[in-house]
Chain A
Amino acid sequence: MRSDGRKDDELRPVTAKAGIIKRADGSGYFKVGNTEAYAAVYGPRNLYPKFMQNPERGILRCSYNMMPFSGAGERVRPGGSRRSKEISLVTEKALLPVLELSEYPNSVVDIFIEFPQTDAGTRCAGICAASIALADAGLVMKDLVSAVAVGYNKGRILVDVSKEEEDIEGMTDIPVAVLPRTGKISLLQMDGQIPPAELQKAVAMAKEASRKLYEIQKQALKDKYHSFEVGELR
């Protein structure tokens, strides 16, 4: 039993929504436990300065930001930090494999991910929200991306670690992003130590959990067009 009463392979309660930011081209909301992520997608749109344009494919820009009041007690200083820059980068790398950006040469797709409230697993929640937002923006994608962090401590593997668990001495934190249809991995980080055999087990558990997250993401997108009776279409 874990401190919040979950089983080892149990996720925190998850809520997901699509299309909540009206002025954005696409948007998503993802809440895991007390971690809340909003993602807004703008684009494909004009890219300047011109030297950044790529004539072969569009580019993706991610911005990860924790709001000043979001953390546990300490005020997060606004503006970028080394940490947020790194997470922006890995989020971008985690999402790129599903996007078919060759359809949008010389343009840019911007994703802004904001966290009003955080309780560990932010990069994973951010990736889940961003993936909903990208689909909502009508971009050409091969798949969605689902992400979850697994923890390892003294022979025990925990799925979707909370801040409380993450702060335990010796806890290894392993965020994993999975493309659900193929089971391929687009993000795998590790902070701590774990025996190789255990790592394989941990990744397998992350894949299993991400399948549940995928179903929630899928439902969020379908629910946007909830009252669905179809008229004659041209």
Chain B
Amino acid sequence: MESKLLIQDKEIAVPGEILAEGMDFVPGPGTYRIGETIVASRLGLVQVDGRALKLIPMSGKYMPKRDDTIIGQVVDILFSGWRVDINSAYPGMLNIKDATSDFVSKGADLTQYYTFGDYIVTKITNVTSQKLVDLSMRGPGLKKLKGGRIISVNPSKVPRIIGKQGSMVSLIKEATYSRITVGQNGLIWIDGEPENELVAIEAIRKIENEAHLAGLTEKVKEFLDANKSRIKEVEMKPEEPEEQPERFERFDRERPRYGDRPRYNDRPPRREGDRPFNRRRFS
């Protein structure tokens, strides 16, 4: 059978729509093969990439993914960590050992690190098949958020808000003299002068609504220029110094600790005729 594409590149496909016929096309993310046809499995934008067909989702809740940097809110304090709402169907778990390099004794009060309602920038270290999400605070830029405000956007529009190499978000940052952190889960933290924050939010909403249109960067630039009169020019707030210590005690041990004893490698070199060191001598 001859292979045939039934839909144009960059068109919207609905679930169950047949995208292509024939075995010359390969199903990518968001599509599946039934017999000789390739069918869309969700609402999205078709991308024809050579022989591969894939769908870019236009909507949907955030699905936790490993190595995503996200913004979450602490909702519960557990025995050895925190439960974090990550704007998804599943909560994230932040363990003490991934949250701080301090020694925390058993039963210590964890609210001194993070307490109910705190927003944190955190990173997903692991997601299991049952969607248990592990979080970590170890890494550049991962911190507790103080001040500012949080807004929520459609998670599938986040790549457009960030732009290529962060071009879009830094455009807004510079124009509004605000600090902005965009979480992959659709939560965005904005901190600046209140008037400027409003302009930044409007710009982000504009991107969200027009994410599928061409020439978005230009439109956002125009919007920011048009709203220049509303922006209060201020010194940019300096980034807070990271509280992360450079070294972790566990890895940088300076002197032998109690209980350290000579190991195999510390023995003098063995010579020919020596008894094998691990063999017991029988008398």
Contact = CB atoms under 8 A, between A and B. Distances in A.
Interface of A: 25-26, 43-46, 55, 58, 98, 100, 104-107, 135-144, 179-181, 217-218, 221-222, 225, 227-234
A135 B43 contact: yes
B43 A143 contact: no
B90 to A, nearest CB: 7
Interface in B156-175: 156, 159-160, 164
B12 interface: yes
Interface string B74-86: 0000000000000
Given A139-B42, A227-B213, A104 B16 contact: no
Contacts of B126: none
A106 B43 contact: no
B58 A218 contact: no
Contact of A107 (B14, B42, B59, B90): B90
Q: DSSP class of A's interface residues: helix, strand, loop or mixed?
A: loop
A29 to B, nearest CB: 16
Given A137-B60, A232-B214, A233-B56, A143 B90 contact: no
B89 A45 contact: yes
A233 B89 contact: no
12 contacts: A25-B60, A138-B57, A138-B156, A142-B16, A143-B15, A179-B16, A180-B16, A222-B12, A230-B212, A231-B211, A231-B212, A234-B159
A45 to B, nearest CB: 5
Nearest to B132: A106
Given A104-B89, A231-B214, A139 B60 contact: yes
Interface of B: 10, 12, 14-18, 39, 41-45, 47, 56-61, 89-91, 129-131, 156, 159-160, 164, 211-216
Nearest to B13: A222
Contacts of B156: 138
B89 A44 contact: yes
B214 A43 contact: no
Contact of B59 (A26, A104, A231): A26
B180 to A, nearest CB: 18
B10 A135 contact: no
A106 B133 CA distance: 13
A141 B41 contact: yes
B42 A141 contact: yes
Contacts of A225: 12, 58, 212
Contact of A105 (B17, B56, B130): B130
B65 to A, nearest CB: 13
A106 B130 contact: yes
Contacts of B215: 231
